Amino acid sequence: MNIANDRNYRERVYELVKQIPPGRVMTYGQIARVLGAGYTPRTVGYVLHASESEMVPWQRVINSQGKCSTGRLTIPLNLQQTMLEQEGVAFDAKGKCDLGMYEWWPEGSEPDDVTQPSLLT
């Protein structure tokens, strides 16, 4: 896919982010993966910061460590975390949340299925 041909490069990110339900989160890398070729975690972050003033629930996008990466922005450091906490996302003392619990996947875009080693022995 040729990005130069696709003026909706940003739109796709916004549309996806808008689908994240309150109290759930997605990571930059996850979004890049769902959107496919041409998208990388970095570009997703770039695209997202440019939308600050739009109707996009940007606070629901965090990094793969389960933390907010808004350290260098003009945004107050804890704003994102505070907003998420108001939606019901719990963070520990280190500012980290449990991705296994809050991470959300759009329908049909699930990663590889579980492969539980349950009865291995």
Partner DNA sequence: AACTTGACGAGGG
Partner DNA sequence: CCCCTCGCCAAGT
Identify the CA nearest to 70 among candidates 52, 89, 97. 52
CB of 71 to DNA, least distance (A): 7
Taking CB under 7 A as the rule, does residue 18 contact DNA?
no
Site for DNA, residues 73 to 92, rule: CB under 7 A: 73, 75
In order, the DSSP letters of 53-115 are TSS--GGGEE-TTSB---TTSSS-TTHHHHHHHHHT--B-TTSBB-HHHHB---TT---S---
- What is the closest distance, in whole angstroms, from the C-beta atom of residue 50 to DNA in the complex? 7
Locate 20 and state its tokens.
């994240």
Interaction of residue 43 with DNA, rule CB under 7 A: yes
| Binding segment toward DNA, per CB under 7 A, in 62-70, 81-89, 101-109, 111-119 | 62-70
- The contact set with DNA (CB under 7 A) reads 3, 9-10, 27-30, 38-49, 51-52, 58, 61, 63-65, 69-73, 75, 94
